[in-house]
Amino acid sequence: MSRIGVFVCHCGENISATVNCQKVAETASGYEGVVHSVDYKYMCSDPGQTLIKQAIKDKNLTGVVVAACSPRMHEPTFRKACNEGGLNPFMCEMANLREHCSWVHDKGDLTTEKAIDVVRTQVEKVKRNQPLTDIKVPVTKTALVIGGGIAGIQTSLDIANCGHKVILIEKDPSIGGHMSQLSETFPTLDCSQCILTPRMVEVAQHPNITLYTYAELESLDGFIGNFTAKIRKKAKSIDEKLCTGCGLCTTKCPTKKIPSEFNEGLGFRPAVYVPFPQAVPNIPVIDRINCTYYIKGKCKVCEKVCPTKAIVFDQEDEIIEVAVGAIVVATGFGIKQPDFFPEYGYGKYPDVITGMQFERLASASGPTFGEIKRPSDGQVPKKIVFIACAGSRDEAKGIPYCSKICCMYTAKHAMLYQHKVHGGESTVFYMDIRAAGKNYEEFVRRAIEEDTVKYVRGRVSRVYEKNGKLIVKGVDTLLGAMPVEIEADMVVLATAGVANPGAEELAQKLHISYDGYKFFAESHPKLKPIETNTGGIMVAGACQSIRDIPESVSMASGAAVKVACLFSQNELTREPLIAVVNRCAAPLYSTCVGCFLCQSACPYQAIEREEIKDRSGKLIKSIAKVNPGLCQGCGTCVAFCRSRSIDIQGYTHDQVYNEVMALLNEY
């Protein structure tokens, strides 16, 4: 039985100046099912709210329409008042008479008519409202952080320091990521490892952090607050409990000439190795592809020398299952392999190197212990050319975006070179210098002005070898596109930053979306840059788009706060305005025919498959099911469902249909 109360607010004179509120209330009192209809000066005031509460009790109201301001303003207020009056808060609707009527129209009959129409739609709607209760979702207060670079490290530490458990997984044998490879960092030129290593150690020692290195995400199920992650711990062939990290095995390993990933191929490592001396954890792994034992079936030198018998050749990958409530994805970025521009001769000429390789050359822990030496002959390059935008901002190469960090690190590289090679000549070819950031522009100016780095604005068309020298051919656009040819001993390419090779696959495992470049997509570019569209999954650092260190760190801390917010409650409370698939009696069970076309329409992967089986377990039909933890209530699925089997609470077919009918017909 519908017993609707209508409350028309004057909003002082905001509404009543142009709308005849009394007439609105009077007209509404004549509608079927309306048992109470009044107008009042300020509905949102205490006495106004009391009016509602009292009427709910006195008239036994089953629904309330407050005709006042925008629901975006006061809907929570009036829903709360209804709740206090003993009515389900979702049995209250608002008719927007102020923002959508009195403020935008002049005083007159037409304005009052409109107000009446709007009230009528809400009366018809509220008649069909259903009492709803907030959805409570329990929260597992453990976070999973994927990726042990600076972003992953920072977010793990922040979450852990809030008192929550963190599981950090890193695909490589050590955490540290790209930052650990860097020599110095812009714009302060402080030593990257010096600032990073303490954080790495802190992670390893933090009681709230469980670290799995050499581990990857296998699969993910569940939803916000309630994920189940399967983690594949790749076999290290080392018993981590027994290994003391003495390093004897790595020194005795007969296979020593494997290009070191950490040194970007500029140095070597053995088959059993720790990537770099400060690695966390300091436990080696056996590279099964290059290890003689795994190739030929014999060797086992390491096993012989290991004092603690920690070598386990037949160790297998281990899958562990963990329950987590939130996930931070901090998988970082990849570097476009420069072989995709043959015109720069990378791979052909050993002295054409990437920026990251230069980092290793410049690093005190690198293959040359910090001396800038040419890979080809170990000579110190007298003349060096840096090519910025090697791939970035190049639509033809498929990377129209700016990689953002290259301008700064190229300036840093040139500066480091000038510091290390006295009398050296460095030239930077650039398109534009993008140095927006605290102290960034000053840094670049310093390189140009104090360290006499020569900046040439123009694109390099080719790098080739002539008489044992590299010739860099380009144009100087500031000099009217004059062709320039520069002789160089070494060329450094500021190669574009790209998404990690496995990003797409990971996104699919996580059910998060990604953009055309395979960077993970944030929920909202402005207001939700850290959240993804999948509730409970955040992104931090360069996996979302190329970021420098300070940005990655702030994003990581931001993600940690998002996780901490989530973990601050034992249960998540969510508005119940979500989609529901109808269910009915046998033999139909639901009008859903299981075409699952809604699945591809859902931006939140909230639609799952439910199998209806008979008592013997035989499948009767598969139907769609909305995961209330994931559904955000957009209703895209609703408009898409042919058989109208899915409906959205708060905006049901019955409600909106009757709203429209009420709008257009006399009642």
**Residues in 600-659 at the binding interface with other proteins, rule: CB under 8 A:** 600-601, 603-604, 622, 632-636, 638-640, 642-645, 648, 650-651, 653-654, 656-659
Q: What angle do CA 162, 196, 403 make, to 5 degrees?
A: 100
**C-alpha 242: how far from its chain's center?**
37
Burial label for 208, CB within 10 Å (0-12, 13-18, 19+), is: middle
Among 80, 105, 206, 473, binds other proteins (CB under 8 A): 105
Q: Is 517 in the site for other proteins (CB under 8 A)?
A: no
- CA distance to 75, 107, 216, 441, 515, per residue, from 152 (Å): 40, 60, 14, 28, 21
Q: Is 369 in the site for other proteins (CB under 8 A)?
A: no
Query: CB of 513: closest distance to other proteins in angstroms?
Result: 7
Among 26, 99, 441, 487, binds other proteins (CB under 8 A): 99
Query: CB of 144: closest distance to other proteins in angstroms?
Result: 23
Site map (CB under 8 A) of other proteins, residues 34-73, x = contact: -x----------------------------------xxxx
Mapping DSSP to helix (H, G, I), strand (E, B) and coil, where does residue 131 land?
coil
d(CA 74, CA 59): 23
d(CA 388, CA 493): 6
The edge-to-edge listing of strands for the beta sheet with 482-488 is 460-466, 469-476, 482-488
Q: Which has the closest alpha carbon to 310: 236, 254, 215, 251?
A: 236
Q: Which has the closest alpha carbon to 426: 434, 415, 436?
A: 415
d(CA 212, CA 191): 26
Query: CB of 78: closest distance to other proteins in angstroms?
Result: 15
Bridge partners, 646 (sequence order)? 581
- Total of residues contacting other proteins (CB under 8 A): 82
Contact 72, 15 (CB under 8 A): no
The token pair at 538 is 């955040």
The token pair at 633 is 């209530």
Q: Is 147 in the site for other proteins (CB under 8 A)?
A: no
Q: Is 661 in the site for other proteins (CB under 8 A)?
A: yes
Nearer to other proteins, 268 or 651 (CB): 651
Nearer to other proteins, 289 or 585 (CB): 585
With b for 16 or more beta-carbon neighbours within 10 A and e for fewer, the 360-388 pattern comes to bbbbebbbbebebbbbeeeebbebbbbbb
Query: CB of 497: closest distance to other proteins in angstroms?
Result: 22
Nearer to other proteins, 432 or 611 (CB): 611
Nearer to other proteins, 112 or 410 (CB): 112
Q: Is 88 in the site for other proteins (CB under 8 A)?
A: no
Residues 542-581 that bind other proteins (CB under 8 A): 577
Helix ranges restricted to H, 475-595: 503-510, 549-567
Site map (CB under 8 A) of other proteins, residues 120-139, x = contact: -x-----x------------
Nearer to other proteins, 120 or 178 (CB): 120
Contact 271, 205 (CB under 8 A): no
Residues 518-537 that bind other proteins (CB under 8 A): 521, 523-525, 533
d(CA 11, CA 552): 48
Q: Is the peptide bond before 187 cis (omega within 30 degrees of 0)?
A: yes
Nearer to other proteins, 378 or 525 (CB): 525
Nearer to other proteins, 348 or 524 (CB): 524
Query: CB of 596: closest distance to other proteins in angstroms?
Result: 5
Q: Is 591 in the site for other proteins (CB under 8 A)?
A: yes
Nearer to other proteins, 477 or 643 (CB): 643
- From the list 96-104, 233-241, 261-269, 327-335, the region that binds other proteins by CB under 8 A is 96-104
Among 83, 278, 513, 569, binds other proteins (CB under 8 A): 513
Count of C-beta atoms within a 10 Å radius of residue 665: 9
Query: CB of 620: closest distance to other proteins in angstroms?
Result: 12
Stated as kind and residue range, the H or E segment containing 294 is helix 292-296
Query: CB of 661: closest distance to other proteins in angstroms?
Result: 6
Nearer to other proteins, 289 or 664 (CB): 664
Nearer to other proteins, 111 or 142 (CB): 111
Q: Is 114 in the site for other proteins (CB under 8 A)?
A: yes
Nearer to other proteins, 201 or 661 (CB): 661
Q: Which has the closest alpha carbon to 514: 558, 544, 559, 555?
A: 544
- From the list 101-109, 158-166, 196-204, 452-460, the region that binds other proteins by CB under 8 A is 101-109
Residue with tokens 């054409």: 352
Contact 318, 212 (CB under 8 A): no
